[in-house]
């Protein structure tokens, strides 16, 4: 339904159609889809400005604001066709919209697809939606021409196992995505087989605030991090456990501090640059690894970051992952002032 709707839009080029698909998913229930500049950037379009501009002749409104320098403020894009009328081309309820959104994210984030062209990623959505898991499928008649041209790319990347004329076979690694277009075969709330975890993940995301969901999707869809969905979902959904630091961790920190002195400004600068490039903060491990702090246990990494937070060089939105950013000590700039004198670390 979604792909048929997008395929029928009078748009030229896969960039515009891929952007239109994301807007349509978010606008399906009320006619207004909220996106940020970072959402557009995460799609890795060859011509994002051209894609945004192409939506205007459709009668869609508000998308021009996505081209500004502000990458984090949500922009409401009005889609007159999707105003919640009974005859809406996408009559999605809350659960259905969440399932469609989750399936779309998982398909475009699949390893064989992540680093392909926009045309190949759009083609992957069409083929996954219409292809059976255990047999050859037939290319859908409404597959856009630019997607047909990108099929050899999907074959070369391992998304397709076979491609012969209009017949294709999904590769083993992506067969779990087959036929996941609405309406779903599994009743709401059912848990069955390997899709139990992704369905639970979608429902978790559907229940969080708009701001948190935006952050979650920035991490999940980050083309530079290319994180597995299972890792992202586990990090966000696990219950926070207060950290307990044994004496050996404190001793190890003393050794680390002597080996890598005055790391606060460096950590703050890296966190700032990372956020600018990725649209989200680094994880604890990403920061420690990138700064070349040597082999560290998980407990030591956490302890080091807690110390830097206590000193004011870093801050985060605990316990939400991937939220590290420069702290107050870094924000005072060249004054050289450090953070609070009390640098004790208390488990949170």
pLDDT of residue 331: 80
Give pLDDT tens digits for 184-201: 333 333 333 333 334 478
Tell whether the model's pLDDT for residue 180 goes beyond 70. no
pLDDT of residue 338: 43
Backbone angles phi, psi at 74, to 5 degrees: -60, 140
> 279: left (phi > 0), else alpha (psi -120 to 50), else beta?
left
Exposed / middle / buried, residue 114 (Cβ in 10 Å: 0-12, 13-18, 19+)? middle
pLDDT band for position 320 (50/70/90)? very high
pLDDT band for position 88 (50/70/90)? confident
Residue 288's CB: how many other CB atoms inside 10 A? 23
Q: 0.85 exceeded by the pTM?
A: no
Closest listed residue to residue 19, CA positions, set 272, 46, 143: 46
- What's the mean pLDDT in 93-121? 85
pLDDT band for position 210 (50/70/90)? confident
Calculate the average pLDDT of the chain: 83
H or E element: which one contains 103?
Answer: helix 94-109
Backbone angles phi, psi at 160, to 5 degrees: -110, 140
Between CA 297 and CA 45 the distance in angstroms is: 39
pLDDT band for position 15 (50/70/90)? very high
pLDDT band for position 311 (50/70/90)? very high
**Largest separation between any pair of C-alpha atoms in the chain:** 70
Closest listed residue to residue 77, CA positions, set 63, 66, 67, 88: 63
Percent of the chain with pLDDT over 70: 87
């Amino acid at each position: 339904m979604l792909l048929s709707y997008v395929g029928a839009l009078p748009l030229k080029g896969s960039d515009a159609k891929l952007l239109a698909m994301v807007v349509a998913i978010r606008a399906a229930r009320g006619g207004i889809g909220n996106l940020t500049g970072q959402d557009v950037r995460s799609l890795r379009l060859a011509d994002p400005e051209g894609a945004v501009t192409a939506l205007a002749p459709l009668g869609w409104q508000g998308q021009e604001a996505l081209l500004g320098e502000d990458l984090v403020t949500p922009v409401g894009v009005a889609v007159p066709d999707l105003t919640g009328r009974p005859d809406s081309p996408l009559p999605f309820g809350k659960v259905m919209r969440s399932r469609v959104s989750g399936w779309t994210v998982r398909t475009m984030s699949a390893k064989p697809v992540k680093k392909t062209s926009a045309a190949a990623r759009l083609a992957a959505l069409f083929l996954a939606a219409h292809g059976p898991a255990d047999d050859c499928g037939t290319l859908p008649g409404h597959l856009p021409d630019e997607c047909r041209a990108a099929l050899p790319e999907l074959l070369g990347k391992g998304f397709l196992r076979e491609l012969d004329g209009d017949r294709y076979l999904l590769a083993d690694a992506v067969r779990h995505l087959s036929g996941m277009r609405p309406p779903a075969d599994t009743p709401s709330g059912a848990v069955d087989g390997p899709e139990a975890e992704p369905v639970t993940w979608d429902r978790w995301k559907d229940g969080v605030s708009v701001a948190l969901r935006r952050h979650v999707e920035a991490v999940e869809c980050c083309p530079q991090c290319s994180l597995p969905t299972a890792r992202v979902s586990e990090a966000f959904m696990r219950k926070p456990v207060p950290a307990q630091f044994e004496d050996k961790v404190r001793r190890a920190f003393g050794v680390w501090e002597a080996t890598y002195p005055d790391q606060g400004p460096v950590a703050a600068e890296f966190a700032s640059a990372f956020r600018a490039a990725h649209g989200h903060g680094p994880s604890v491990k990403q920061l420690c690894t990138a700064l070349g702090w040597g082999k560290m246990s998980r407990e030591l990494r956490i302890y080091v970051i807690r110390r830097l937070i206590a000193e004011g060089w870093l801050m985060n939105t605990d316990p939400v992952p991937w939220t590290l950013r420069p702290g107050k000590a870094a924000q005072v700039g060249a004054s050289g002032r450090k953070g609070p004198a009390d640098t004790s670390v208390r488990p949170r």
